[in-house]
Each structure stands twice: as C-alpha cells, then as structure tokens.
Structure 1
Amino acid sequence: MTERSDFAAYVDARWPDLVGGLEDEGVAGDRARLAVAEALLGARRSWERRVREEQVDVTLWAEVRERAGLAARPGEPVPHAVRPRDPRDGPEEWLERAGRTRAARRRRGAQRALVGLAVLAVLAAGWSWWAGRPDPPAVREEANPLPVHWYAEDELHLQDVVVELPGLEAFVADFTDDTAVVARLRSGEVVRVDAEGELQPVDEAPPALDTVPIPPPVRGIGPYDALVESVPLAGGGWAHLVDSARRAGAEDDLRQSETGRRAVVVCPTEWTCEEPVTVVADGTVRLR
C-alpha cells in the first residue's frame, strides 16, 4: 500500500497472518483474502478510534472469522507468523475487489430500498383508496312483486333484493344478465348492480342508458289510464308503467297522483298484454 498511515502499516504487516490464519482453518485462498479485505475496509474509517479503544488484533480477527463463516472465538488474537510475507501476494488487489463488492452491495441495497418505497407508496395509495371508498349500499332480501326492475323512494328493486341507492339518475336492464341493471348515479359514476345488490364500476355506459325508447302503441290499458314510462324486455315485448288517475298527458306524466292507481302492464307482443300488476310505493316510481 502506498499511503503512509497506521492503518496501512497494519495491513502490510498483518495481511499474511490474517489470510494464512483462515487458510489454516480450511478456508479457500480467494475466499480468505476477500473476507480479510472486506473486514479491513469495514474497519478503515474508524481505525484511529479502534486502536485507542480496542485490541484490534482481537476484535478484527473475530470479524474476519465471521466473514469467512467461522466461529468468532472472542478474545483470540490474530495468529502470528503463520505465513512469510510475499510481495507478489499483497492486499491491494483484494482491497480494490472488496471495495467493488461493497459498492455493488450498496447499490443493490439502495435499489431494494427504492423498490420498497415504491411498494409502500402503492400500498399506501391502495389503502387510501380502500379507506376512502363509500360504504356499500344497504341490501335486503325481498321478492319483487313486479315483473320488471323498478326504483322508488331511493330504493332499487331487483328480482330478489332491494338496494338502497340514493341519487340514482337512470338505469337499464343488463341484457347480458337480466337479473342485473346498469345505472348512472348523480355523481356521474356508472355502475353495474348485480342480482345480490353488489356494485361494480362500468368503464363505458351502454347506449341504452342514454336512449329514450319508443314503444309501440299500448293496447293493454284503459281509456282513463295515462302512460308514464315504457321499457323493452330482454326476452322481447315491453313493460309499461301506467297511472289510472292521469288525464292531462305529457305535462302531467311526471306528477304522481295521490289517489290514482299505478300499475305495470307487460305486453309480450304489440297485440297481447298481461293483467296489470299494482305498484305499491310512495313518491315517484321509475322503470329506467
């Protein structure tokens, strides 16, 4: 070593004994040299303090042995005169190699730390999203008395459940699964409500959600019944919401009568309609 210091003098003097002591314990030559070099580099920055406060021959030998995979043997000093000094087998090359190894280890540690931070950030964002999600809507089991899905009093009535869903702007039957609906909420979010009442986000609203259907003439209602709303059925035909107290036509269609009888009439074809089914609910009733 070219530097003039107590550390450099120690390394020059004790290198053969440190390496030779490990080799005598059965450690392979290259492994022994790298273990000694790594231990010396680890001690270099604090060398002056260690010389003042420790028996470096004892503590360093314990560290060298541990790096080589041997038991530390506390209190045992570096063996003396186990190898003659060989100018062709100096510490310089191995100290450089140990330095590169330590640098690579630090880079890997930094990369792992960055990956860990990224993972923590993703987990934190996921937890924040999860914690910030609105509570799922209340769902209760209740058989639907009507032959179609309907909405009234902030509740969506599906085939077997009723979902509490305030702020529902519009909904249509999911014709891929007639037990579910696709709905737009007042927030602008489009969701699918399945047969169990669970909500899943929908990336793209179906065209039917924004299309007002044009039904055929309704032949299954009486002369004093007013047509409120119509929806197509998955299996063909139409369902019509009618009110027997309506008289004034389109301007009155969105007003609910307090005395009238509301009912749903299912017409499988333009010429055939089933018996009306009375709607028992307060406030506005909607089929879409």
Structure 2
Amino acid sequence: MDTFLLDELLRGFLREDLEHGDITTEAIFSGAETGSAVLRAREPLVAAGLESVAARVFWLLDERLRCSGSIPDGTCAAPGATLLTVSGSVRSILRGERVALNLVQRLCGIATLTRKHVDAVQGCKAAVADTRKTTPGLRLLEKYAVRCGGGRNHRFSLSDGVLIKDNHIAACGSISEAVRRARAAAPHTINIEVEADTLAQVEECLACGVPVIMLDNMDAPMLRQAVELIAGRALIEASGGVNLRTVRATAETGVDIISVGALTHSAPACDIGLDWLEQLAP
C-alpha cells in the first residue's frame, strides 16, 4: 500500500477516535510512564496489516513508540500467538489501541475468509477475486487484506476498467450497442468486460469480440455450458452468490476467475486483543 494514501486514512481514523483527547488515559497517567503490550490472536487467523497498518497507527500517533515482532502478512497464526509488540509511552499505546485493533481485526478477518476460499479451489485453474463491495473508506485496506489471504483484486474503482453490467445493458438496449459505445469512448489501454446472465447474452458477447465475460448468477451446469460455448475465446469470470459451499463446484466448471463479494462485505472480524506485558516506573 502506498503510505502517502494510507497515512491520510489512518490519521482520519485517529482523529475520529481521539477528537478532543483521551479523557480516561490522560486522567490516570502523567505521560511519563512507559511499558510494553502485545497484540495477541485469540482464534486461528491469517495475518494482515500488523506491520503495515497497526504499527503505523502507533507510529503516526507517537513516533517514539517502537513496534517489533510483527507476524508477516499472509502467515497463519494459532490462538495465543503474538502478532505485534509495541513499547513506549503508556498514554500513546492506550490512545492508539482501539484504532489499531479495529483495523487489524477487520483485515485479518478478510484475509482468513479469503484463504478459506483459495484453499477450497486448490487444483483448479480459477483464481479467487474480490469485488467493489467494500466498506466505504476502507477499500484500500480491505483489498490489501484479500491479497494477504491469497486472493486477487478486481477493480479498485469505476475508472479501472469498463464493466458493462445488467443495468447498463437494460438502459442502453443491448450488449452490442453498449460495447460499441464503450469502444468508441474508452482508451485503448482499458479492457472491456461484459456481464451475461444467459447463454444468449454469452453468444452476443462473443459476436462482439468481448475479451472478458462475466457469467452472473449461473448454476454449475449452466456455467459448464457457457465455458464450452466460449471455448477459450474470452477470459471467463463467474460471479454472484458464490460462497464456501459453492466455490469448489464453480471452479470445477473451468472458469478463470471467481469473484466473491462476501470476502469483504461479510467477513467476520477476527478476535485479537491487546495484552499488557509490563509497566515501567517513570
């Protein structure tokens, strides 16, 4: 992640939580006390953002804080594993605790769910990808977590590529016309993908020479028919309603990419706690 973009986000999260200060911490501690604490896994998880996000939260809050022992992103951690150690001002650690935990709990949850989907399609050629169904303001972080879990990123924004979906087609009148208009307006460096709900729409995509076809909300038998119909003439993405129960069957149809909105919109946060190790006399 580009720290120029990341730091702006993290400072905003800190401002939201601190607002006019930490009344509790400032009342109890003078600011001279120092100590150490650890972020610890309380359930099995795939690590995401310990050094790049949590440690940076603490550093942005207080450059004198020292973070060490961060578990590498993408690493599986068992319950009780130390994920990151932070040392320095007691005040600063306590002020940054909630923001750091909120973020890494979310990111590890996404990475963990992504890894389960990736593991489920092992042996198939299909890659697991995310969607734009992300939490507003957190897309940069959540898509990073997908990569930590072994998945791929779809578009980051509407400007990343042409994706002609059902509502574009309905408003325009046909796939052919929508593709014609997109080709006339889009730069030559931008790829065109079209969503198809039926085999007739797949045939229309092929007639237009569409390079990427998204097969939307098709069951496994229909996906196989579409894959046979396309016969290598376009990159094939399957999307819509995919979950851990169905992702293997989807992959076995021969599609190239499986996009799963649940990776970011439904991943449960992982249970991670901050445990105090020591408090040193000022």
Q: Normalising by structure 2, report the TM-score.
A: 0.21
Structure whose alpha-carbon radius of gyration is higher:
1
Q: Which protein is richer in helix relative to its size?
A: 2
State the TM-score, normalized to the length of structure 1: 0.20
